[in-house]
Chains A and B, each alone.
Chain A
Amino acid sequence: MDFKRYGLRKEEYEAAVSALGREPNECELRILAVMWSEHCSYKSTKHLLRHFPSTGEKVVLGPGENAGIVDLGDNLGAAFKAESHNHPSAVAPYQGAATGVGGIIRDILALGARPVASMDGLFFGSPDHPVTASLSSGIVAGVGGYGNAVGVPTVGGKTVYDECYNENPLLNAFCIGLVPLDEIVSSKTARPGQLVVLLGSKTGRDGIAGAAFASVLLSDDSKANKPSIQIGDPFAEKLLIEACLELQSKKLIVSMQDMGAAGITSSSSEVAAKSGVGMILHFDRVPLRAADMEPWEIALSESQERMLLIVDPLHLGEVQAVAEKWELDCAVIGETNEEDSYTILWHGTEVASFPAALLGDGCPPRRWPSKKPEDLEKNWHFDMDSLPLPKDWNAALLALLETPSLAPKEWIYRQYDSMVQTNTVTGPGHPLSVLRIRGRDSLLALVLDADPWKCALDPHRGGAETVARTIRTLSVAGADVLGLTDCLNFPSPEVPEQYWALEECIRGMAECCEALNCPVVSGNVSLYNETPSGAICPTPVVGTVGLIPSLEVYLPSGRWKEGDRLFLAGPCNSSLGGSQYLLSLGHRQAERPLMFSPEGEADFAERARKTARMKGASSGRALAGGGLAVALAKDGAESSRGARIALPVPTRHDVVLFGEGGPRALYSVPVGKVPLFRTIWKGYPLLEIGRVEGDTLTVEGAFSLPIGELTSRWRVR
C-alpha cells in the first residue's frame, strides 16, 4: 500500500496494520493520515506538554477536552481555550481568520457554555513587506466579520509586527464562556444504544483534510491549497449556538462535540473513545452540499458550523423540534453500541472500521533530534559601550511609541464589536480586559500576551517571561489567577535547533506556571510555521484568566490624579535583550533577556494584589513592551496628565527606561495613601520616581514631552 502518498510514515503505517490486524483500505488510510497528522495527533509535542502543570483547586476540567474549565465559585465555571488558525489565514486571510473565530467559539459551546468574549493574537509581517497590508486587513476583517455577526464581543488581544511573520501571519483565537458547573456537557457520557446526530450546516468539500495541510510547511504551492480552506457562515453559527444552548437547557443532549479539524471523523471517534462505546455511522445519511461526495471526503470535510450530538432515542423528536425552530439541518447519522469498533457504512457496506481508540490515541509519538543552536550564547554578548545614549530623547521615545508593535491598535479593534452582550467593563486598548459576571460582584479578567523576540533570544527565559507578563498584569489589576491556555506557534520541529527552542520554551513556561500556581487547562500547538524565506520566531501565545473580587478593588491603568506620587515597584536593572528599544535600533540578536525569578515573581504578585485590594494606588500598570518609558507615556496619555520624574539610580538611563522583563510595575499613589503603599511594598525594591503634575511628561536627564504632543502623535492613527 502506498501509505506515503497519503502522508503516513512507515512506523505509523505499521502501527495501523498491527492494530487492525490487516492492511487498511484507501478510505481508512486517508482517515488515518489526517487523524495522525501533527495538527490532530500532537505526535511531536504530546510528551512535552506533560511538563505543564494542569491541576489545581480551581481546575474543573483540564487539557484533553474541547476547552478547559476553571471554577468561579457558586456553581459557575469559565470554559476557555485558544486555538491557532495560521495556515488558513496565510492563504485566505478573511476566511482563515473568520473560521478560526468560529471554531474556537464552538469549542466553548461544546461544553455547554455560552461564549461571552473573544480575544485575538495577531502576528503580522513587517509593514513594509508587500503582502502585509492585504493579509493584516483581511485577517482583521475576518475576525470582526465573524465575531460581530455571531454576537460574541472581541474584548482584547495582542498584535505584533515582525519580519519573521512575512507571508506567514499567525491568527490565534481565544474564547471564553460561562457554564453552571452542574450543566457541563462532556464527551465522555455517551452510552450504547444512543443516536449520533449531526446538527447544523450541510457537509461540503470545503476544508477537506485541512488538518493535514496545517501540518506541512507553507510554500508557493500552498495557494493551490485553497480547497483546504473552510468558508465561515456566522449566521449559521449564531443559530447553532442558540439551538445547542436551548437543547442543553432542556437536557436533551447526552454528549456533544464540535466539528473542527478532521470533521465528523474526529468528533465522533473522540466521543466513542472517551465514552468507551462503539459507533456505527451511515455516511449516506449525512446532508451534503455536493451530491457526488465520496465517503472519505465526508469523513474529512471541515465544513463549518456543525455539531455532533449524542441523543437518547426518546428525545429525538424534541431535538428535531428545536432544530426546526432554528432552521438547522438535523440528521441521525448513526448509533452507539457495545462493540469496540468505530465503523463507517456507505449504503450499508462497510467502508472503514477501526478500534475506537485507534484514531485518537494510536499514532506513535514522534521524537525529533534536539540541538542547542551554536550561536545562541554568542548572541547574548552585546557590548553596551557600543550603544550610545540617545542624542534626542524626545525623538527616541516618540519613535519607539510609533513602532508598529507598540503603536495604538485602534484601527483594528474599532472593527470589532467589543460591547455586545453588555458585560464589557474594560475593552480593547488596555493591558487587560475585564468583564462583569451578571448577578455577581466578581469580575472576569483576561490577558493575552506574547514576546516572540525574547523567546528567540533565549527560549527558556522568553517562555517564562511570556507567562509571567500575563500574571503580572492580572495581579496589578487585583485579580486572582485561575489558569491559562496557550497556543504554541513554532516552525518545523524537524530542524534540531527549532525543536530545541520548542522544548526550552515549554520548560520555561512550565517553570513559571509552577512557581505562580497557574495551571494550563487547554491549548493547542501549531508547527511548521515557516516559508521558503524563513521560519517564525518561537511564538508561544498565552491567554490567562483571573477573577477580581469586585469592581471596588479593580485597579485600572491610565488613571493618574494630579499630585499623585509615582513609584516604580521592582528592580531598576532590567535587560535590553529582546526589548522593543533594541529591536527598533536594529539589534535583533543582542543581550540576554532577564532570568526568571520564581520567588521574585510570586512576591510581586502577592504585593500587587494586596495593593489593589487595599486600594493603595489610583492607577497601576505592569511594565511590558517598551519598559518604563512606554508605561509612563501610555499612563500619561490616557490620564491626560503630565509628570515630573527623576531616576536617582546609577544605572544607564536607557536601560532603566527602555529595559524589559522581570516583575515590575508603575504605580500612581495619592499622597494620603503613600504610607500604606510603602508598607505593602516594604522589603521589595521600591523607588519613588516623581509626581503627577502639569501637562508635560518630563524625565530628568531624558525626555520632556507635552502630553498633547504624545497623544496627537501616538493616539491618532
Chain B
Amino acid sequence: MKTAVVIFPGSNCDRDVICAVRETLGREVIPLWHRETALPAGTDLVILPGGFSFGDYLRSGAMAARSPVMEAVVAHGKKGGLLLGICNGFQVLTESRLLPGALLPNDSLVFHCSPCHLRVERTDTPFTNSFTPRQIVQFPIAHGEGRYFLFPDELRALEDRLGVVFRYSTPSGEISGEANPNGSVNNIAGIISEGGNILGLMPHPERVSESILGGEDGRIFWKSILSFFEKGGKSNGL
C-alpha cells in the first residue's frame, strides 16, 4: 500500500497525516507538492490534508481544486482509486465536484475546535471496514466552514444510496441537534462517492491515532484502509 499526501500552499495537517499513516501502518507515504502533474507510480491512496490551502481567502478549497496536481488526483478518483479528503481536503473534493454538496460557514459563524462523537454509518467501505456497525468514535473537529449542505432532493438521493459514512452524534449514538457542532444537514460529518472509493470528512482521524494525544479511534480508520488492500482490494488509480 502506497500513499501520497498532497501539499498545497497553506496545507497545515500534511505532516500530521503523514506521521499518523506512517506510524500506524508502517507503510510508505510520499509528500506530493501541488505543482506536480503526476502521482508517484503505484500510488494506492491519495490524501488531501487539512489546512487553509491558498489561505482559503476565496471559498475554502476553491483555489486548491484548480492546482496543477488536481488533474491527476481527479483522474485517480474517477478510475476508482482511493481518495481521501480530510477537513480542507473534503472542501477541495466538493469544490472539485468529486463529492456532492458544499461546506458552508458553521452556523455559529465562528471557528470550532473540539473533540466530537461520530456514529459510523457504513462499515463496508475501504475506509471503515474495521469499525463495528454503528460504532461511536471520537475524532476532533477544527474548522470554520464545515456545515455540510445539500439541496433536499440531492440529500435524499445521497441518503438513499447510503452515501453518509459518519454522522455527528451524542456519546450514546443519538443523532440530534445538540450533537451537531456546525449545523450540517442530517448531522453529516463524512460522505463517500457512489463508486465507494472517494471519502470526504470534516473530523480529523490523524489527531486521534496515538493514546498520548487522548484517543486511538483514528487507528481503526487507517487499519481499515490497510486491511482493504491486504484482503485483495484494488485501487484502480493510475
Contact = CB atoms under 8 A, between A and B. Distances in A.
A binds B: yes
Interface of A: 141, 144-145, 148-151, 233-236, 238-239, 325-327, 413-425, 436, 438, 551
A238 B10 contact: yes
Interface string B8-46: 011011011001100000000000010000000000000
B140 A419 contact: yes
A235 B111 contact: no
Interface stretch (B74-82, B124-132, B190-198, B206-214): B206-214
A416 B51 CA distance: 13
7 contacts: A238-B9, A238-B12, A414-B111, A416-B113, A420-B16, A420-B50, A424-B213
Contacts of A239: 9-10
Contacts of A413: 113
A235 B8 CA distance: 11
What is the interface of chain B mostly: helix, strand, loop, or mixed?
A: mixed
Given A419-B113, A421-B15, A551-B212, 8 more contacts: A144-B111, A149-B52, A235-B54, A239-B9, A417-B111, A419-B204, A422-B19, A436-B213
A297 B85 CA distance: 45
Contacts of A416: 111, 113
Contacts of B9: 235, 238-239, 326-327
A420 B144 CA distance: 14
Contact of B51 (A151, A325, A415): A151
B110 interface: yes
Contact of B52 (A141, A234, A419): A234
B68 interface: no
B52 A235 contact: yes
B114 interface: yes
A148 B212 contact: no
Contacts of A423: 213
B110 A148 contact: no
Nearest to B181: A414
B56 interface: yes
B158 interface: no
B116 to A, nearest CB: 11
B73 to A, nearest CB: 20
B78 to A, nearest CB: 29
B112 interface: yes
Interface string B197-235: 000000010110110111000000000000000000000
A239 B207 CA distance: 23
Interface centre among A145, A236, A326, A419 (most CB of B within 10 A): A419
A83 B1 CA distance: 46
Contacts of B112: 414-415
Contacts of A145: 111
A325 B214 CA distance: 36
A236 to B, nearest CB: 8
A421 B14 CA distance: 9
A141 B110 contact: yes
A326 B7 CA distance: 12
Nearest to A426: B214
Nearest to A421: B16
Contacts of A233: 55
Interface size bracket, B side: 20 to 34
A417 B113 contact: yes
A655 B155 CA distance: 61
A148 B142 contact: yes
Given A234-B52, A414-B113, A417-B111, A425 B212 contact: yes
A423 B214 CA distance: 10
Contacts of B210: 422
Contacts of A238: 9-10, 12, 52
Contact of A151 (B12, B20, B213, B214): B12
A423 B132 CA distance: 28
A249 B3 CA distance: 25
Contacts of A149: 10, 12, 52, 55-56
A420 B13 contact: yes
A466 to B, nearest CB: 29
Nearest to B50: A420
B110 A417 contact: no
Contact of A419 (B56, B111, B142, B212): B142
Nearest to B17: A422
B111 A415 contact: yes
B113 A422 contact: no
Contacts of B212: 425, 436, 551
Given A148-B52, A149-B55, A425-B213, A420 B142 contact: yes
B177 to A, nearest CB: 16
Contacts of A420: 12-13, 16, 50, 142
A246 B161 CA distance: 46
B151 interface: no
A438 B19 CA distance: 10
A238 B7 CA distance: 12
B23 to A, nearest CB: 10
A423 B210 CA distance: 10
A276 B10 CA distance: 37
A417 B57 CA distance: 18
A419 B207 contact: yes
Contacts of B52: 148-149, 151, 234-235, 238
A151 B88 CA distance: 13
B19 A235 contact: no
B18 to A, nearest CB: 10
Contacts of B214: 425
B211 to A, nearest CB: 9
Interface in B57-86: 57
Give me the 10 closest cross-chain CB pairs, A-B, nearest first. A151-B12, A235-B55, A149-B52, A417-B142, A422-B16, A415-B111, A417-B113, A419-B207, A235-B10, A144-B111
A419 B13 CA distance: 10
Interface in B68-123: 110-114
Contacts of B207: 419, 422
A421 B20 CA distance: 11
A702 to B, nearest CB: 33
Given A148-B142, A420-B142, A422-B20, A415 B113 contact: yes
Interface centre among A148, A416, A417 (most CB of B within 10 A): A417
A239 B33 CA distance: 13
Contacts of A421: 15-16
Given A233-B55, A420-B142, A422-B20, A415 B12 contact: no
A162 B151 CA distance: 47
Interface in B133-159: 140, 142, 144
B113 A418 contact: yes
Contacts of A414: 110-114
A149 B9 CA distance: 11
Contacts of B206: 422
Contacts of B111: 141, 144-145, 148, 414-417
A424 B142 CA distance: 14
A302 B50 CA distance: 30
Contacts of A551: 212
A234 B214 CA distance: 28
Contacts of B33: 325
A435 to B, nearest CB: 10
A144 B51 CA distance: 13
Nearest to B20: A422
B88 to A, nearest CB: 10
Contacts of A325: 33
Nearest to B52: A149
A415 B108 CA distance: 11
Contacts of B50: 420
Contacts of B10: 149, 235, 238-239
A141 B110 CA distance: 8
A201 B89 CA distance: 26
A234 B51 CA distance: 12
Nearest to B210: A422
